[in-house]
């Protein structure tokens, strides 16, 4: 595949800030952001709550460059956190500490959000990863999204990494997804036929008071308001940077395959809403450790089978971009180690201690950040 036809790729990752000793979430995101900006500049920022930090990559063509930026971003915020007696963890939900209700970041936009969404903000301390794939034709982007809708539950299962909430095991692999589904603008977008129809739907949401502004369309698949990209937002933030890079490669390949179908005149499958809802729920409950639902046929299948089918769809493009080995290696590791939720539970099971989960997450979020014996940076 010529480089000119490979779309640029970018990733945003969200993290929780925890006390380095107790492992509890703490409202110190501003401290981490301020210190990390020395290394990352505009690639780091705050989030809706004071418990969260976000890092961003620049647009990348090569997956190796994206992976490097993801690793650098994680190392920078972990180093900044450690210098203040804190740590950051890549988990879709808090493990320890008071996160309900979370302290909301001050600002007029956040105030409008609180006035609009009210008690929904009580459960907003959740972390996702957002993958941006460049697409300058908005009409084509909308039709590509029609094709991508069917894959969202599988992408969710692959990245499930939020089993704990309020210091208890929820029994779900992605509790972040369950809490997020209560929002009026969350979940999969509707089947749409043009950018004009997309904009009309967003305008209707604004008129109904379901949005603070056009940037708060929280569909798991949307057109970015600020960049010429398709943004896939369905996934929990993965434990490791390598997993985020592999997810991004898979998403870009699926976007490319979908674009080819659109160019052939295929507007995408119309999915039954009740089957999609069921598939989301099953993916959130089981992750990669159980079964999922095929969104087209409604058939219940092992999650590993659905994931394998997804890779087969993307295989030709992954092979051409040189990213196939990275994605296949990711699936092999998931089969061996389990998804993020399974790894969190395994850490807890070793001694029956949730503090061990936080330690494991902090270590794997940004491995190799040098720390002295007294806990300060070496």
pLDDT tens per residue, range 124-162: 999 999 999 999 999 999 999 999 999 999 999 999 999
Would 377 be classed as within a structural domain? Answer: no
Residue-averaged pLDDT of the chain: 94
Confidence of residue 112 (pLDDT cuts 50, 70, 90): confident
Flag whether 371 is in a domain. Answer: no
pLDDT > 60? residue 46? yes
Residue 244 has pLDDT above 80, yes or no: yes
- Reported as a pLDDT band with limits 50, 70 and 90, residue 370 is low
Helix spans in 3-60 (H): 29-40
Is 54 a domain residue?
yes
Domain count, the chain: 1
Structure tokens at 237: 């933030």
Evaluate whether residue 236 is within a structural domain. yes
In a domain, 171, yes or no: yes
Please list, in sequence order, all residues whose beta carbon lies within 8 angstroms of the beta carbon of residue 93, skipping any fewer than 6 positions away: 99, 125, 126, 127, 162, 163, 164, 165, 175, 176, 179
What was the pLDDT predicted at 303? Answer: 98
Q: Indicate whether 39 belongs to any domain.
A: yes
pLDDT at 247: 98
Residue at 370 is within a domain: no
Q: 74 pLDDT exceeds 70? A: yes
The more confident residue out of 5 and 320 is 320
Q: By C-alpha distance, which of 97, 93, 96, 95 is closest to 123?
A: 93
What domain range includes position 112? Answer: 3-365
Mean of pLDDT values over 310-320: 97
* CATH number, domain with residue 99: 3.30.590.20
Cis peptide before 101 (omega within 30 of 0): yes
For 154, what's the count of Cα atoms within 13 Å in the CB-facing half-sphere?
26
Is 376 inside a domain boundary?
A: no
Of the pLDDT bands very low, low, confident and very high (cuts 50, 70, 90), residue 1 is low
Determine the average pLDDT of the residues in 42-50: 94
76 pLDDT exceeds 60? yes
Whole-model pTM: value is 0.95
User: What pLDDT is recorded for position 2?
Assistant: 62
Closest CA to 161 of 347, 291, 293, 378: 347
Predicted local confidence at residue 374, as pLDDT: 38
Q: What is the pLDDT of residue 3?
A: 61
């Amino acid at each position: 595949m010529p480089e000119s036809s490979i779309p640029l790729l970018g990733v945003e990752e969200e993290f929780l800030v925890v006390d380095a000793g107790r492992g509890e979430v703490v409202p110190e995101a501003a401290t981490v952001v301020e210190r990390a900006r020395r290394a990352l500049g505009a690639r780091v920022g705050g989030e809706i709550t004071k418990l969260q930090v976000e890092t961003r990559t620049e647009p990348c063509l090569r997956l190796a460059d994206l992976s490097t930026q993801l690793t650098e971003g994680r190392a920078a915020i972990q180093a900044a956190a450690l210098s203040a007696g804190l740590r950051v963890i890549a988990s879709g939900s808090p493990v320890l500490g008071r996160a309900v209700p979370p302290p909301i970041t001050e600002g007029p936009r956040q105030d409008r959000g609180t006035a609009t969404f009210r008690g929904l903000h009580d459960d907003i301390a959740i972390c996702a990863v957002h993958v941006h794939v460049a697409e300058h034709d908005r009409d084509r982007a909308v039709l590509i999204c029609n094709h991508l809708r069917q894959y969202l539950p599988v992408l969710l299962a692959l990245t499930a990494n939020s089993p704990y909430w309020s210091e208890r095991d929820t029994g779900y692999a992605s509790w972040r997804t369950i809490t997020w589904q209560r929002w009026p603008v969350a979940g999969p977008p509707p089947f749409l036929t043009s950018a004009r129809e997309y904009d009309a739907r967003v305008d209707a949401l604004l008129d109904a008071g379901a949005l603070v502004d056009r940037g708060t369309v929280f569909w798991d698949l949307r057109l970015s308001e600020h960049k010429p990209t398709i943004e896939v937002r369905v996934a929990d933030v993965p434990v490791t940077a390598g997993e985020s890079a592999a997810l991004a490669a898979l998403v870009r390949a699926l976007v490319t395959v979908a674009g080819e179908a659109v160019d052939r005149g295929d507007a995408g499958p119309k999915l039954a809403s009740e089957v999609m809802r069921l598939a989301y729920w099953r993916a959130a409950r089981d992750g990669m450790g159980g079964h999922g639902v095929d969104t087209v046929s409604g058939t219940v299948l092992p999650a590993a089978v659905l994931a394998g089918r997804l890779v087969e769809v993307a295989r030709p493009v992954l092979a051409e971009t040189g990213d196939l080995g990275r994605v296949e290696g990711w699936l092999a590791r998931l089969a061996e180690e389990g998804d993020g939720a399974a790894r969190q539970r395994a850490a807890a099971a070793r001694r029956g201690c949730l503090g061990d989960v936080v330690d494991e997450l902090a270590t794997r979020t940004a491995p190799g950040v040098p720390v002295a014996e007294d806990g300060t940076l070496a």
